[in-house]
Amino acid sequence: MTKISALDLMKKNYNVQLEAKKLKQFFFDAPMFRRANLFNNSETFTYSAVFDELMLRDWKFRQTYITTKEMFTQNDLYIDFSKKYTDEQLINFIELIDNILYVKPNSEIIRMRYNLTFIENNYKLMLEILGALIKNLGLDEKKNPEGWYVLIPKNEVLDKAIEDFSPAVQWEIVSYLKIKSDDLESKRKQLAHLATELYIEKDTNEKGYVPFDTIMNECTLILNNLHIRHNNETGKWENDVIKNINDSEAIEYCDILYNKMLQIILIRKDLKKQSKIDNLSKSLKNNK
């Protein structure tokens, strides 16, 4: 009989749902700060309590929320232990905790002004649970223009595709992945915007390179006929095909189009490198 190592066993039995609930417990219930009072007794405070009192009122993502519990509850992220997080709830919950922990209070200000000290072991454990969840779910942190950290599935193709763009355009490309999976209208709008931003058109300088032409033709086919770039339901661009495609199929086509746009970006990057090689080759021939 093959023996499973203890480490492999722990990895195998890693429970994302349970770990997320542990993270919730550490954030809302575990003592995270300590303060000595006049009678030399020690008071303790949770991270959420200190965040509510000292930081939430000045936090730029606060909006109208008065407490962190209200923030989580109203967004359906304060999940009872007896229930399971959906995939979307799980990522949004971790993302919100991640952003709150990024504004860790300055320990010197906390110590001098409020006489609070961190309970370092508990804080370290909370960070380790958060980090393990992000790693086990295969997530990657991206920062939007407002400074909010978002979590998306790790995607090496995406990272390679966006690396040469400005932060603003990078976010335009990344933000497609933060649209709710069933929000067809928002996906269509974002793809139409990206098609303009990335110049997804047939009459480009790269025309004539067969792999590029094939993918570009597929992109423009979806853009022009599946109610993304044009109104295909009524008017000049109306067609019967769109009327026979349900929302689920339309969402699938949107996601296919998004991935093909990434392929176009990568091909363009490679063609730029190829042109340098071609120029070098011409120079060497001319010097013979």
Quick check: helix, strand or coil at residue 35? Answer: strand
Side-chain-side CA neighbours of 194 within 13 Å: the count stands at: 30
Separation of alpha carbons 258 and 177, rounded Å: 9
For residue 42, report the phi and psi dihedrals to the nearest 5 degrees. -110, 120
- pLDDT, tens digit (0-9, with 9 covering 90-100), for 157-176: 999 999 999 999 999 999 99
Please list, in sequence order, all residues whose beta carbon lies within 8 angstroms of the beta carbon of residue 171, skipping any fewer than 6 positions away.
Answer: 142, 144, 145
pLDDT of residue 112: 64
Tokens linked to 17: 């749902």
pLDDT of residue 148: 87
- pLDDT, tens digit (0-9, with 9 covering 90-100), for 96-144: 999 998 876 665 666 666 788 889 899 999 999 999 999 999 999 998 8
The answer to whether 194 touches 173, Cβ cutoff 8 Å, is: yes
Residue 55: count other Cβ atoms within 10 Å of its Cβ. Answer: 15
What pLDDT tens digit does each residue of the chain (288 aa) get?
Answer: 566 676 666 667 789 999 999 999 999 999 998 887 656 667 899 999 988 888 887 787 888 899 999 999 999 999 888 889 999 899 999 999 999 988 766 656 666 667 888 898 999 999 999 999 999 999 999 988 888 899 999 999 999 999 999 999 999 999 999 998 899 999 999 999 999 999 998 877 777 788 889 999 999 999 999 999 999 889 898 898 888 999 999 999 999 999 999 999 999 988 888 777 777 777 777 776
DSSP string, 102-123: HTPPPHHHHHHHH--EE-HHHH
Q: How far apart are the first and last CA of the chain?
A: 69
pLDDT of residue 192: 96
**Percentage above 70 pLDDT, the chain:** 91
Separation of alpha carbons 228 and 195, rounded Å: 10
Provide the H-helix boundaries in the chain: 6-12, 16-28, 47-50, 68-74, 87-102, 107-114, 120-136, 156-162, 167-174, 184-197, 210-225, 247-286
Please list, in sequence order, all residues whose beta carbon lies within 8 angstroms of the beta carbon of residue 148, skipping any fewer than 6 positions away.
Answer: 61, 99
Separation of alpha carbons 105 and 58, rounded Å: 12
Tokens linked to 263: 């392929």
Q: What size, in residues, is the chain? A: 288
